[in-house]
């Protein structure tokens, strides 16, 4: 179980960390997504910071399990919000969202199974 916990947590942290970097550096992809979902560009740094906090929180969970659990739960909520943003504008391009959501759910599940 420990190997699964470590693997899934690191994978989720890497995925969300890469997404956070693209948001924080002002890459064109998050800007295009924000335009499609009618989200102001001024939100991008805040969304990137939320992803970065989740990514780092998952890693901090190796030392303090409660932080990892809360970070994983926060990422799940973040991606539920992303789904709402997609559906609000009628977007059905959900493959990318599904990958991030599934990884966040998996991170939360293995965290809960391993620690609690």
Tokens standing for residue 87:
């559906």
59-79 tens-digit pLDDT? 999 999 999 999 999 999 999
CA dihedral in degrees (90, 92, 93, 95; nearest 10)? 140
**Structural domain count of the chain:** 1
Tokens standing for residue 4:
């699964």
pTM value is 0.94
Of 54, 59, 60, 58, the C-alpha closest to 81 is: 54
For residue 45, what pLDDT band results from cuts at 50, 70 and 90? very high
Domain that holds residue 89: 2-115
79-114 tens-digit pLDDT? 999 999 999 999 988 999 999 999 999 999 999 999
């Amino acid at each position: 179980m420990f190997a699964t916990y470590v693997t899934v947590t690191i994978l989720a942290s890497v995925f969300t960390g890469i997404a956070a970097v693209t948001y924080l550096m002002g890459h064109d992809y998050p800007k295009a997504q924000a335009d499609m979902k009618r989200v102001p560009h001024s939100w991008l740094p805040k969304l990137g910071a939320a992803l970065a906090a989740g990514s780092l929180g998952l890693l901090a969970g190796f030392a303090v399990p409660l932080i990892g659990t809360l970070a994983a739960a926060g990422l799940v909520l973040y991606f539920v919000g992303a789904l709402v943003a997609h559906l609000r504008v009628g977007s059905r391009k959900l493959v990318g969202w599904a990958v991030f959501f599934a990884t966040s759910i998996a991170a939360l599940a293995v965290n809960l199974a391993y620690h609690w």
